[in-house]
A = this chain, B = another copy of it.
Amino acid sequence: MVGLGRMGGNMAQRLLRGGHTVVAFDQSAAALAANVSEGAAGADSVADLVGRLAPPRAVWLMLPAGEVTEASMEELGGLLAPDDAIIDGGNANYKETLRRGKTLAERGIHLLDAGTSGGIWGLTEGYSLMVGGDPDVFRRLEPIFQALAPGPDRGYCRVGPTGAGHFTKMVHNGVEYGLMQAYAEGFELLQAKQDDFDLDLLAIGKTWQYGSVVRSWLLDMAVRALEEDGDLESLASYVEDSGEGRWTVNESVELAVPTPVITAALYQRFRSRQEQPFSGRMLAALRNQFGGHAVRNIEP
């Protein structure tokens, strides 16, 4: 396991609990020590980690997408032997994965992309794994997936060749954006009438959890959030996005598949991070120009 952050650390733990032997590496000594204390063997470096594994090796990368993953992939390409396998559990763009898969295949190294969902809850509940790669290698590594996913034959599958895993995970996250925004809009409507109807948002959320068409794990998370802070008063409306939502929109543009809901969800996040966007200033200026309508000035 290379990368022992929030996700990788938990996954290593879950593997250990499942009876697997784990050699772990992270640039952070603290993260490594925490894992070693759980039972993992600690490696000094990626090269050391590779040396400690018996072929055919399986190296799981759980790193930030982009440069860090690219660098590790290149390093491993030089260290591993034919028939060894890299499993990229991070959120790489599937086109990058296709490219890396080809490069590694030239050296006989297998790349499996294991799109991983579950967040911080995966440790206890198991992860959902969408795996792309060679079917034989997938079967060889299946005990690993079984240990990470909720149970035998559930929560993981080989969705296709290398690249298909990250593609499927990208779509998964696009759907996630849409679902989240749907709930967010609903709760905002409830909140807008909260005073009129004396609505208890938490109680409503709980009622929806059982028997309703909108029950879901994300709704469970909403209920948890409302339990902690019924009005979400302390929270700012500032919402980050990671790459997958953007890639999903780019993909829908490339495939000419309209995705108005997923895209609107992404744009609402963009908007949440803007103050005084130029478009709104232009609209105010236009209304003033043609209709003499009043404008507000930015307070200094």
Give A contacts to B, CB under 8 Å. 6, 117-122, 125-130, 132, 149-151, 154-157, 159-161, 163-164, 167-168, 171-193, 197-200, 203-204, 206-219, 221-222, 224-225, 229, 232-241, 246, 248-293, 295-298
Contact = CB atoms under 8 A, between A and B. Distances in A.
Contacts of A276: 236-237
A236 B277 CA distance: 9
A261 B182 contact: yes
Contacts of A277: 188, 237, 257-258
B185 A259 contact: yes
Given A154-B209, A197-B164, A256-B270, A237 B279 contact: yes
B117 A214 contact: yes
B285 A119 contact: no
Given A120-B291, A160-B199, A203-B159, A298 B234 contact: yes
Contacts of A121: 290
Contacts of A288: 225
Contacts of A257: 185, 188-189, 192, 270, 277
Nearest to A158: B203
B253 A249 contact: yes
11 contacts: A149-B210, A149-B211, A178-B179, A179-B214, A187-B278, A188-B259, A213-B217, A221-B289, A241-B256, A258-B270, A271-B271
B119 A255 contact: no
A237 B218 CA distance: 28
B199 A236 contact: no
A183 B296 contact: no
Contacts of A192: 255, 257, 278
Contacts of A221: 286, 289-290
A171 B155 contact: no
A266 to B, nearest CB: 7
A176 B213 contact: yes
B178 A280 contact: no
Given A263-B267, A270-B256, A175 B186 contact: yes
Given A204-B130, A249-B253, A260-B260, A212 B283 contact: no
Given A159-B199, A175-B214, A253-B249, A282 B187 contact: yes
